[in-house]
């Protein structure tokens, strides 16, 4: 039996077409979903104003519908971000600045949660090619995961360093860690171990990182913590 493989360019073309159609479908779903949410919220207000016991039972049912609609909206938004990340316009920039801004964003939450943020950022770090908005989105997702792994407090270390091939960012937390099954599946679309999670956060972060010609590795041990390492090529001028 002979199996004929399609050319890579043809497969890529088909994939891009499917991604475009999926994105269009998600947009089409979002519009009626927004109308459903709006009308359910209005119905919820009307039912709350009533005093009959049956209306109060209906209030709880409308709350359930609204919650699930918001969950679908979150899923669709994450899915749209995921499908749009095929290529980025990269420009020279500073990795230290990117992670600094993300950590600053989490400082208040970290203080309330009892998480100590420690920064070891190499001041001599070379520039890398980056898209600030999308790279920050990926870093926010990784830091958010680290924070969620330390609900009772801990330490989050952010370290940048030069490597033989470029520069690296290590994000090390002292949280709950992950089992082997979670490590294997964590970058699979729609896989999640969190209540209410969409399973697209880490796959989207990975896709953003790969769009920066970088790679991401993870090491984790249950009850010991997790380390994400992102390795970027350095920016090189031509001429």
* pLDDT of 232 higher than 90: yes
DSSP single-letter state for residue 57: H
Query: Does the global pTM surpass 0.85?
Result: no
Structure tokens belonging to residue 60: 């709880």
Question: With 60 as the cut, is the pLDDT of residue 70 above it?
Answer: yes
CATH number of 91-233, picked from 3.30.1330.10, 3.30.565.10, 3.60.20.10, 3.40.50.10140: 3.30.565.10
pLDDT at res. 204: 81
* Region 194-213 average pLDDT: 75
| In the predicted structure, residue 36 carries a pLDDT above the cut 80 | yes
Is pLDDT at 208 greater than 80 in this prediction?
yes
Q: What is the pLDDT of residues 88-127, one digit of tens each?
A: 678 899 999 999 999 999 999 999 999 999 999 999 999 9
Residue 212: which pLDDT band, with cuts at 50, 70 and 90?
A: confident
pLDDT value of position 27: 66
pLDDT at 239: 39
The DSSP bridge partners found for residue 156 are 117, 173
Least confident range of 7-11, 28-32, 143-147, 210-214: 7-11
- Give me the chain's average pLDDT, please: 80
pLDDT at 199: 65
Q: Which residue has the tokens 């979903």?
A: 33
**So where are the chain's domains?**
8-84, 91-233
pLDDT at 7 over 80: no
Average pLDDT of the residues in 137-148: 90
pLDDT tens sequence across 39-49: 888 888 888 88
Q: Measured on CA atoms in the order 156, 162, 163, 167, is the torsion positive or negative?
A: positive
Question: CA separation (Å) from 125 to 17, 73, 121, 234?
Answer: 39, 39, 8, 9
What own/partner pairs with CB < 8 Å and gap ≥ 24 does 221-226 have? 221/177, 222/176, 222/177, 222/178, 222/179, 223/176, 223/177, 224/174, 224/177, 225/149, 225/154, 225/172, 225/173, 225/174, 225/175, 225/177, 226/145, 226/146, 226/149, 226/172, 226/173, 226/175, 226/177, 226/178
Q: Are 114 and 175 in contact (CB under 8 A)?
A: no
Higher pLDDT, 18 or 5: 18
Strand partners, 221: 225
Confidence class for position 174, pLDDT limits 50, 70, 90:
very high
Q: What is the dihedral of CA 77, 82, 87, 91, to 10 degrees?
A: 70
């Amino acid at each position: 039996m002979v199996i004929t493989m399609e050319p890579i360019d043809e497969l890529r073309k088909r994939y891009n077409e499917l991604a475009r159609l999926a994105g269009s479908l998600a947009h089409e779903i979002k519009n009626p979903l927004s109308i459903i949410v709006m009308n359910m919220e209005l119905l919820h207000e009307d039912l709350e104003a009533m005093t009959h016991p049956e209306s109060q039972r209906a209030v709880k049912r409308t709350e359930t519908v609204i919650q699930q609609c918001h969950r679908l909206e979150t899923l669709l938004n994450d899915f749209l971000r995921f499908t749009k990340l095929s290529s980025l316009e990269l420009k020279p920039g500073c990795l230290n600045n990117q992670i600094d801004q993300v950590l600053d964003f989490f400082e208040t939450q970290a203080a309330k949660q009892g998480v100590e943020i420690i920064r070891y950022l190499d001041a001599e770090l070379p520039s890398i090619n980056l898209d600030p908005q999308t790279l920050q989105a990926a870093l926010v997702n990784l830091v958010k995961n680290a924070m969620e792994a330390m609900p009772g407090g801990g330490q989050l270390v952010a370290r940048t360093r030069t490597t033989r091939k470029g520069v690296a960012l290590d994000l090390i937390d002292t949280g709950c860690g992950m089992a082997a099954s979670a490590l294997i599946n964590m970058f699979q679309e729609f896989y999640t171990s969190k209540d209410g999670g969409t399973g697209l956060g880490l796959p989207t972060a990975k896709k953003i990182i790969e769009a920066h010609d970088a790679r991401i590795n993870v090491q984790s041990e249950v009850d010991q913590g997790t380390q994400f390492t992102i390795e970027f090529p350095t920016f090189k001028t031509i001429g």
